[in-house]
Amino acid sequence: MSQKFDVVVIGAGPGGYVAAIKAAQLGLKTACIEKYQDKEGKLALGGTCLNVGCIPSKALLDSSWKFHEAHESFSVHGITTGGVSIDVPAMVGRKNTIVKNLTGGVSTLFKANGVTLLEGHGKLLAGKQVEVTDREGNTSIVEADNVILASGSRPIDIPPAPVDQNVIVDSTGALDFQAVPKRLGVIGAGVIGLELGSVWARLGAEVTVLEALEKFLPAADEAIAKEALKTLTKQGLKIKLGARVTGSDVQGEEVTVNYTDSEGEQKIVFDKLIVAVGRRPVTSDLLASDSGVDLDERGYIFVDDQCTTSVPGVYAIGDVVRGAMLAHKASEEGVMVAERIAGHKAQMNYDLIPSVIYTHPEIAWVGKTEQQLKGEGVAVNVGTFPFAASGRAMAANDTGGFVKVIADANTDRVLGVHVIGPSAAELVQQGAIGMEFGTSAEDLGMMVFSHPTLSEALHEAALAVNGGAIHVANRKKR
C-alpha cells in the first residue's frame, strides 16, 4: 500500500527543503525526496547551494580574502607579518566542514518539523503520484494531494571544453583544488566565474577570464559594471571580452584553449580551466510522459506567477522555472507555494529580488538600472555616494566603490539601489526593505542612520538624489 501525503516535494535544495518545512509548519503532512550523495556516499540535503554552490564558494572567498589582506594590507594597520602562506587542503577542509554542518542541520530541521525524508530519485507520474527509486533501484509509489517540483539546476557543458574534473572542471570541481594553479583559465565572466576566479587569483594564480559577450556584467547598472571591471582588473584578473572559445586540447596536466576575439584566432595555455557559462534546469527523468506538466521552449517547467504548473495541484519552484537562478528566490517561492497550498493568499514581488556577486568589493543591486528606466521612458533622479568619503570605510581600509540610488523624478519613489563596495549585499537589502514599502528617496534621507556605519553611504546617496547630500558635493541640477 502506497504512502499518502498532503504535500510531496521533489528536491531538498534551498527551494525544496524550505517548502517542505513551511508546509509541515502549516499542518500539512509532508514528505521530501532527495537523492544527492556526498563524497562519502551519504545522503546530503541542501542542494547545490549548501553542497557545491553558495555556501562553499563563500567559505573559499572569505578564506582567500583573509590571506590576501594578511599578505597585502595588514601593514597599513601597523601589523607586521612574516612568512604568510596558504595551506590549500586545510582551506578546502574548512569549507567541507561548514558544508557538512549545514547539510546536517537541514536533516535536523526536517525532524524537528515532522517532515518525512525519502531517499531516492523522485519522478512525477500521472495523477500526482510520485515514483521513488532508491540506491538499489527499487521503486515505490507515494501519493500526494499536492506536489512541488524543486529539482534545481546543474552546470552547463560546452562542446569546445568538455569537463573531465581534472584539468577542465566545472564550478563544482573548482571548489576542490588541492593546490593553487599557476595559470588558471575561466570561461564566463558571470557571477560564478568572477567569484571562483577571485578566490584563486588572491592565492597567487594568474587568472584569465574569457567572456564571449562584448559587454561586462550586462545585467548590472552600467556605472557599477564599469567600476567592477576596473577594480577586478586592478586586482589581477585578466578579463577578455568578446572572446569566444572554439576548442581545447588537454595534454598531460595542462590545456590549450583556442578562442576568437576582435583580433582573430587566439590560443592560451592553462594548468586548470573552469567552465562557468551558466546553469540549466534539471528536468531529466523528473516527469513521466503522461504527467501533464508542460515545459517551455528553453526546457524550464512552465509556471504562472504563483508557480502553478499546467497540472492543478502540481507546482514548480527555483532553478527549474523562469527567473533568476538564485537560492533566495527559490526559498521564497517555496514559502509562497506552501502557504497557497495551505489556503493563504501568498504572493511574491519578483521586481525586488536582490542580486549579489561576492567578489571584493561586493557587487549588489535591487530594482531597475538607470539604463532600463531610461529605456522605458521614465524620468529619474540619481544620487551617488563614494565609500572613499565614508569614515567607517576609511577606518576599515576598504574605500573602493559607491552607492547609487535611483528615484522617479516625478514621485521620488526609489526604483533601484545599486552598490559596489564593502558589505554591498547588506546595504542593498536595506534598500529592498524600503522599496517593498514604497519608500521615497526623501524617506530614506529623513531616517536616522547610526554613525559611523557603512549604511550611512546609502543615507547620503538617498539625500544626493534631491541634491541634499551632506558629506559629498551635490551634482548641480540641469
For 91-126, the pLDDT digits (tens) are 999 999 999 999 999 999 999 999 999 999 999 999
Name residues whose C-beta falls within 8 Å of residue 386's C-beta, 6 or more positions apart in sequence: 399, 401, 402, 457, 472
Query: Residue 239 pairs with which residues in a beta bridge?
Result: 209
List, by residue range, all CATH 3.50.50.60 domains of the chain.
3-155+280-350, 168-277
Mean pLDDT of 277-285: 96
Query: How far apart are alpha carbons 327 and 423 in whole angstroms?
Result: 19
**What pLDDT score does 2 carry?**
76
**What pLDDT score does 82 carry?**
87
Please answer whether residues 393 and 406 qualify as being in contact, where contact means their C-beta atoms are separated by less than 8 angstroms.
Answer: no
Q: Tens of pLDDT along 227-240?
A: 999 999 999 999 99
To which residue does cell 540641469 refer?
478
Enzyme catalytic residues: 451
373 is in an annotated binding site: no
29 is in an annotated binding site: no
Q: Is the pLDDT of residue 322 over 90?
A: yes
327 is in an annotated binding site: yes
Q: Tens of pLDDT along 342-373?
A: 999 999 999 999 999 999 999 999 999 999 99
Q: Is the pLDDT of residue 1 over 60?
A: no
**CATH code assigned to 3-155+280-350:** 3.50.50.60
List, by residue range, all CATH 3.30.390.30 domains of the chain.
361-465
325 is in an annotated binding site: yes
Query: How far apart are alpha carbons 262 and 242 in whole angstroms?
Result: 7
Please answer whether residues 211 and 239 qualify as being in contact, where contact means their C-beta atoms are separated by less than 8 angstroms.
Answer: yes
Domain 168-277: what homologous superfamily?
A: FAD/NAD(P)-binding domain (3.50.50.60)
278 is in an annotated binding site: yes
What CATH architecture does domain 361-465 belong to? 2-Layer Sandwich (3.30)
Q: Tens of pLDDT along 15-28?
A: 999 999 999 999 99
39 is in an annotated binding site: no
Query: How far apart are alpha carbons 238 and 177 in whole angstroms?
Result: 20
Query: How far apart are alpha carbons 67 and 83 in whole angstroms?
Result: 12
Q: Is the pLDDT of residue 385 over 80?
A: yes
Q: Tens of pLDDT along 447-478?
A: 999 999 999 999 999 999 999 999 999 986 65
pTM, 2 dp: 0.96
